[in-house]
């Protein structure tokens, strides 16, 4: 049966949107969903639900200070969100302005960082930044951490630490892989002690993750492309876990999309190592090839991430889990609580 955008709507009380992280990373709650059964636990108890030899796959991307505030030469205020750095001095950005800037428009960010609009590419603008320094260094000095739009405060020192995983290594994301925010060093050490295997990949979450689905017919939606890379060691670890009958557990929807994207060419061989671009849009009916279990946060109504969860868990189990989470006052979205989901049989 064709699905529409309205099939993924739900009503969430505003007070359940987490505005700040829990006091400690692993202090969040954990909702377990397996074979339609729902149970409540704590994230600190996660190792109890894993077996020696199971494989957790993490996304080690690092969030950059991708949000810039500034003005056009005319004085009109602008806000830019870097989608992707395309060269030493160039980047594709989303732009908010009273009037869309034309090619040749001069912009000034943070009162001193100058840029020029080179061209428009669909919803994005290509900017060239002035000065000798490259875009990453400029963003570090003049940019702001791109907190999601549903978080009502400006980025703070606390956010600099907590809207970043403890294992973040490779700069390039404009949104955090939020399922990983629950893991601290003690948790990672405990997982290793209990002989749960850990592996890493990189998917740079793009600004498209903030964009709403604008079509009711989901078949017409086009995902923004995101860069990912899977190291050979991770591909080998996934193959070993599958061969030995252990679970492959994606830490977050980004890890899942990277693994599934890298396996599309040959499902029997599993994900191949290497770099690529993915615009994989997962909706109910998708056949998962690699991932057996998923750790994820609670996602926005009508979002592509909620559609992915529905595909993994099943539509009705997903709806029941979200009703339960709302009734039990779980905390939602990036700074909220987590779910551990077993793949629908």
- Res. 207: pLDDT tops 90: no
Tell me what percent of the residues of the chain surpass a pLDDT of 70.
Answer: 98
Q: Around Cβ 220, how many Cβ atoms within 10 Å?
A: 9
**DSSP tally for the chain: helices H, then strands E:** 7, 17
- Which DSSP symbol is given to 180? G
Confidence grade of residue 224 (pLDDT, cut at 50, 70, 90): confident
Q: What is the maximum alpha-carbon separation in the chain?
A: 64
For residue 315, which phi and psi values (nearest 5 degrees)?
A: -60, -55
User: CA-to-CA distance for 281 and 287, rounded, in angstroms?
Assistant: 12
pLDDT at 210: 72
**What is the average per-residue pLDDT within 14-24?**
97
Nearest Cα to Cα of residue 181 among 210, 159, 199: 159
- Res. 248: pLDDT tops 80: yes
User: CA-to-CA distance for 7 and 316, rounded, in angstroms?
Assistant: 11
User: CA-to-CA distance for 50 and 179, rounded, in angstroms?
Assistant: 16
What strands lie across the sheet with 37-42, from one edge to the other? Answer: 37-42, 29-34, 338-342, 293-297, 248-251, 55-59, 197-203, 226-230, 274-278
pLDDT digits (tens, 9 = 90+) for 148-177: 999 999 999 999 999 999 999 999 999 999
* Range with the poorest average pLDDT among 21-25, 117-121, 208-212, 267-271: 267-271
R_g over Cα of the chain: 20
pLDDT at 1: 62
More confident call, 264 vs 178:
178
**What is the average per-residue pLDDT within 57-85?**
95
pLDDT at 123: 87
pLDDT at 160: 95
Q: What is the pTM of this model?
A: 0.95
What is the sign, positive or negative, of the torsion defined by CA atoms of 160, 161, 163, 167? positive
pLDDT at 265: 61
Nearest Cα to Cα of residue 94 among 40, 149, 14: 149
User: CA-to-CA distance for 94 and 83, rounded, in angstroms?
Assistant: 7
Return the beta strands (E) in the chain as ranges: 29-34, 37-42, 55-59, 61-63, 67-72, 77-85, 90-97, 106-109, 113-121, 124-129, 170-173, 197-203, 226-230, 248-251, 274-278, 293-297, 338-342
Three-class DSSP category at 213: coil
Q: Mean pLDDT over all residues of the chain?
A: 95
- Residues 281-295: b if buried by 16+ CB within 10 A, e if exposed: bbbbeeebbbbbbbb
Torsion of CA 324, 308, 311, 275, to 10 degrees: -140
Specify whether the backbone of 316 is left (phi greater than 0), alpha (psi in -120 to 50) or beta. alpha
Helix ranges restricted to H, 244-286: 253-262
30: β partners:
41, 338
pLDDT at 266: 65
CB 256 within 8 A of CB 301: no
pLDDT at 127: 98
Task: Give the angle 10-179-345 at the CA atoms, nearest 5°.
Answer: 70
Confidence grade of residue 89 (pLDDT, cut at 50, 70, 90): very high
Task: Give the angle 208-8-177 at the CA atoms, nearest 5°.
Answer: 40
Number of alpha carbons in the 13 Å side-chain half-sphere of residue 279: 6
Q: What is the bridge-based pairing of β-strands 170-173 and 61-63?
A: parallel
pLDDT at 253: 97
pLDDT at 116: 97
- Res. 268: pLDDT tops 70: no
pLDDT at 211: 78
pLDDT at 267: 60
């Amino acid at each position: 049966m064709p699905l529409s955008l309205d099939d993924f709507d739900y009503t969430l009380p505003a007070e359940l949107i987490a505005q700040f992280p829990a006091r400690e990373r692993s202090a969040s709650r954990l909702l377990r969903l397996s074979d339609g059964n729902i149970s409540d636990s704590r994230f600190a108890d996660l190792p109890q639900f894993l077996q020696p030899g199971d494989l957790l796959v993490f996304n080690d991307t690092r969030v950059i200070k991708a949000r810039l505030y500034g003005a056009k030469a005319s004085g009109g205020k602008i806000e830019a969100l870097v989608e992707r750095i395309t060269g030493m001095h160039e980047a594709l950005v989303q732009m908010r302005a009273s009037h869309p800037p034309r090619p040749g428009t001069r912009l000034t960010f943070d009162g001193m960082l100058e840029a020029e609009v080179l061209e428009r590419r669909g919803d994005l603008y290509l900017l060239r930044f002035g000065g000798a320094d490259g875009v990453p260094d400029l963003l570090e000095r003049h940019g702001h951490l791109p907190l999601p739009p549903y978080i009502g405060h400006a980025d703070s020192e606390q956010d600099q630490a907590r809207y970043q995983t403890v294992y973040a290594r490779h700069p390039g994301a404009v949104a955090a892989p939020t399922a990983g925010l629950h893991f601290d060093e003690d948790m990672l050490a405990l997982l290793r002690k209990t002989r749960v295997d850990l592996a890493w990949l990189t998917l740079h979450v793009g600004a498209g993750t903030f964009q709403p689905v604008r079509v009711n017919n989901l078949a017409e939606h086009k995902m923004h492309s995101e860069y990912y890379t899977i190291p050979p060691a991770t591909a080998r670890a996934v193959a070993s876990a599958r061969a030995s009958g252990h679970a492959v557990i994606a830490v977050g929807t980004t890890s899942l999309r990277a693994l599934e994207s890298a396996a599309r060419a040959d499902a029997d061989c599993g994900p191949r190592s290497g770099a690529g671009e993915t615009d994989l849009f997962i909706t109910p009916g998708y056949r998962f090839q690699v991932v057996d279990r998923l750790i994820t946060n609670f996602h926005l109504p009508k979002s592509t991430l909620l559609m992915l969860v529905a595909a993994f868990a099943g539509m009705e189990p997903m709806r029941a889990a979200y009703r339960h989470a709302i009734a039990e006052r779980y905390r939602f979205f990036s700074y909220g609580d987590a779910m551990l989901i077993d793949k629908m049989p």
